[in-house]
């Protein structure tokens, strides 16, 4: 803790770094062991567009070391009419129109910066989501379904001010990114002083007392199941499953992942939904993003995803295909029986193996030949409402490839499309009546040092204008049983839907509102 209370880098160090880095994290570490990630989010973000909270819990519920709180984003790369569109002030030299995926690649290249040793894994970069429709810029898909939600294809914040909560040592790292917006060598000292002033503002905000609500559930709540609506008629959904199986029998695909959307009223704040979800369904990727589209309509994304699409750390590339599931048992014995049933299910095992092979093929496009390997194969991991078969595929990044190339090679996950991926994507356009939006896309970050961590956007809710939308799917093969597949989508959607419902039943209490107490 020797570095507590010291602004870093110093002005002299900053001048040297400015010669070869367009983004420099000016930072201050403080001991703030009374703070929580939720409390910091309340103080720094307050649900404003361009803010976020990202956390992680290992399987079993143990919290990972870092939580990332985005306090301000000076610009956000999104889309309008299928073209790149910036909200706020984009840096000089980045595309402001044209292909949005090219804009991602070129922005990362333009703001490429040094890796700062000894810092948390994410301090600056583009952070947010890429929706399912992003694939249309990489694959030729000519018949998109109805765009009923009118959601941007992506929204990636250029984060300027943020905090990193260390769950191990109780420190908080306050970061104000000094971004060379005009790409000039002038005003270097001014940039450092501006960043220092923003760090001080962050410190003042986390030091100020705020009312932290204490919440309980209302004694009576509406029935959960009756409050959920299906966007797709049940009979039409089941007919689509049959058409998917016909395509498999005809040899078009080996598997296709058909999804459906559920929706319900959302009377709670996105933060309250997140509070419930992180409590009831802790997962490796948990997040809340507050965003706005090009027309100023605000929306939030709340999720707890168990599955990474891909991570890039230096030269190491990792993906975790998840396929095969069972609901959790109500007792230890029932849970064990369902685990054994899952491991013995030849259909689930064959489906999982196919998707592991697809992951290996995806990584082979961007990794050094001979380095792609399966290090974990078909193990059961358990979450609050569901258990999955999980594998891990790793490789060493090719010298000619960058994180963007890895994203392009792996997006979308085969576990969300089916295989072979190109034909499965076209088949989904024929079978599903509406665009998927965030579902099956990714949530996470690409940093300016070349690393990336992207989760698949599942177990997630889009919250906008008083409604919540949750989508879930299942892999269809030739011998799939329709009622079983339909139930699987319900099980997968349960955690975020229940969180929306429960959050709407929360209310704040105080000691004065409780009955009883000491007699006078």
- CA proximity to 403, closest of 447, 347, 466: 447
Asked if 287 and 55 count as a contact pair (C-beta separation under 8 A), the reply is: yes
- CA proximity to 462, closest of 298, 310, 322: 298
Q: What does the domain layout of the chain look like in residue ranges?
A: 11-509
C-alpha distances in angstroms, 163 versus 52, 176, 273, 274, 453?
A: 10, 9, 22, 18, 18
Tell me, what's the pLDDT at 243? 97
Q: Which of 89-93, 421-425, 452-456 has the lowest mean pLDDT?
A: 89-93
Tell me, what's the pLDDT at 422? 94
Query: For residue 326, what are its two tokens?
Result: 């069972």
Q: Work out the average pLDDT over 310-335.
A: 92
Tell me, what's the pLDDT at 209? 85
* Cα dihedral across residues 498, 500, 501, 505: positive or negative: positive
Tell me, what's the pLDDT at 520? 46
Q: Work out the average pLDDT over 461-480.
A: 95
- Which residue is associated with the tokens 């193990």? 379
The overall longest dimension of the chain from CA atoms, in Å, is: 81
Asked if 296 and 267 count as a contact pair (C-beta separation under 8 A), the reply is: no
Tell me, what's the pLDDT at 222? 55
For residue 464, pLDDT over 90 is answered with: yes
Which residues belong to the active site?
A: 388, 415, 439, 459, 475
Tell me, what's the pLDDT at 203? 98
CA distance 171 to 30: 6
Query: For residue 248, what are its two tokens?
Result: 């498999």
| Average pLDDT taken over every residue of the chain | 92
Q: What is the pTM of this model?
A: 0.93
Tell me, what's the pLDDT at 61? 56
Is residue 212 packed enough to be buried (19+ CB in 10 Å), middle (13-18) or exposed (0-12)?
Answer: exposed
E-strand ranges in 133-266 read 154-166, 171-179, 215-217, 229-230, 255-265
- CATH architecture group of domain 11-509: 4-Layer Sandwich (3.60)
Q: Work out the average pLDDT over 224-253.
A: 92
- Number of neighbours of residue 282 by Cβ within 10 angstroms: 22
Tell me, what's the pLDDT at 517? 62
Q: Work out the average pLDDT over 27-45.
A: 96
Tell me, what's the pLDDT at 62? 64
Span 333-358, pLDDT tens digits? 999 999 999 999 988 898 899 889 99
What percent of the chain is predicted at pLDDT more than 90? 78
- CA proximity to 125, closest of 454, 450, 448: 448
Is residue 229 packed enough to be buried (19+ CB in 10 Å), middle (13-18) or exposed (0-12)?
Answer: exposed
- CA proximity to 300, closest of 288, 309, 316: 288
Span 79-123, pLDDT tens digits? 999 999 999 999 988 999 999 999 999 999 999 998 888 999 999
- The rounded radius of gyration (Å) of the Cα atoms in the chain is 23
Span 242-291, pLDDT tens digits? 999 999 999 999 999 999 999 999 999 999 999 999 999 899 999 999 99
- Which residue is associated with the tokens 């392009």? 408
Tell me, what's the pLDDT at 1? 63
pLDDT band at 226 (very low <50, low <70, confident <90, very high): confident
Query: For residue 303, what are its two tokens?
Result: 């999720």
């Amino acid at each position: 803790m020797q570095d507590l209370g010291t602004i870093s880098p110093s002005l002299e160090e900053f001048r040297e770094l400015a010669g070869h880095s367009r983004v420099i994290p000016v930072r201050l570490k403080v001991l703030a062991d009374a703070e929580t990630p939720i409390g910091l989010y309340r103080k720094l973000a307050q649900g404003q567009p361009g803010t976020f909270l990202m956390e992680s819990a290992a399987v079993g519920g143990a919290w990972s070391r870092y939580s990332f709180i985005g306090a301000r984003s000076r610009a956000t790369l999104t889309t309008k009419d299928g073209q790149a569109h910036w909200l706020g002030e984009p840096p000089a030299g980045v595309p402001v129109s044209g292909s949005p995926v090219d804009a991602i690649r070129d922005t990362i290249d333009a703001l490429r910066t040094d890796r700062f040793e000894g810092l948390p894994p994410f301090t600056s970069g583009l952070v947010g989501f890429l929706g399912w429709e992003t694939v249309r810029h990489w694959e030729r898909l000519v018949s998109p379904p109805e765009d009923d939600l009118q959601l941007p294809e992506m929204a990636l914040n250029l984060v300027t001010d943020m905090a990193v909560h260390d769950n191990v040592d109780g420190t908080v790292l306050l970061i104000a990114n000094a971004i060379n917006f005009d790409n000039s060598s002038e005003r270097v000292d001014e940039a450092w002083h501006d960043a220092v002033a923003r760090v001080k503002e962050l410190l003042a905000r986390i030091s100020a007392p705020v009312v932290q609500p204490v919440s309980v559930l209302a004694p009576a709540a509406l029935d959960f199941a009756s409050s959920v609506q299906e966007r797709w008629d049940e009979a039409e959904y089941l007919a689509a499953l049959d058409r998917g199986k016909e395509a498999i029998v005809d040899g078009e695909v080996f598997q296709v992942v058909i999804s459906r959307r559920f929706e319900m009223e959302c009377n709670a704040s996105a933060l309250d939904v997140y509070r419930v979800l992180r409590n009831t369904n802790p997962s490796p990727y948990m997040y809340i993003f507050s965003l706005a589209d090009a027309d100023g309509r605000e929306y939030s994304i709340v999720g707890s995803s168990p599955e990474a699409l891909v991570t890039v750390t230096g030269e190491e590339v990792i993906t975790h295909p998840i396929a095969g599931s069972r609901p959790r048992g109500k007792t230890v014995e029932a849970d064990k029986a369902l685990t054994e049933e899952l491991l013995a299910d030849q259909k689930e095992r064959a489906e999982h193996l196919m998707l592991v092979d697809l992951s290996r093929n995806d990584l082979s496009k961007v990794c050094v030949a001979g380095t792609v390997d399966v290090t974990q194969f078909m193990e059961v991991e358990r979450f609050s409402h569901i258990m999955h078969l999980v594998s891990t595929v790793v490789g060493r990044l090719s010298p000619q490839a960058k994180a963007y190339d890895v994203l392009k090679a792996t997006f979308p996950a085969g576990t969300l499309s089916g295989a072979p991926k190109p034909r499965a994507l076209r088949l989904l356009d024929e079978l599903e009546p509406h665009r998927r939006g965030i579902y099956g896309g990714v949530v996470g970050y690409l940093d300016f040092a070349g690393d990336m961590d992207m989760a698949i956007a599942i177990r997630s809710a889009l919250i906008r204008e008083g409604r919540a939308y949750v989508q879930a799917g299942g892999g269809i093969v030739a011998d799939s049983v329709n009622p079983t597949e339909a139930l699987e989508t319900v099980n997968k959607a349960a955690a975020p839907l229940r969180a929306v419902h429960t959050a709407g039943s929360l209310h704040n209490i105080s000691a004065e509102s409780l009955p009883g107490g000491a007699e006078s």
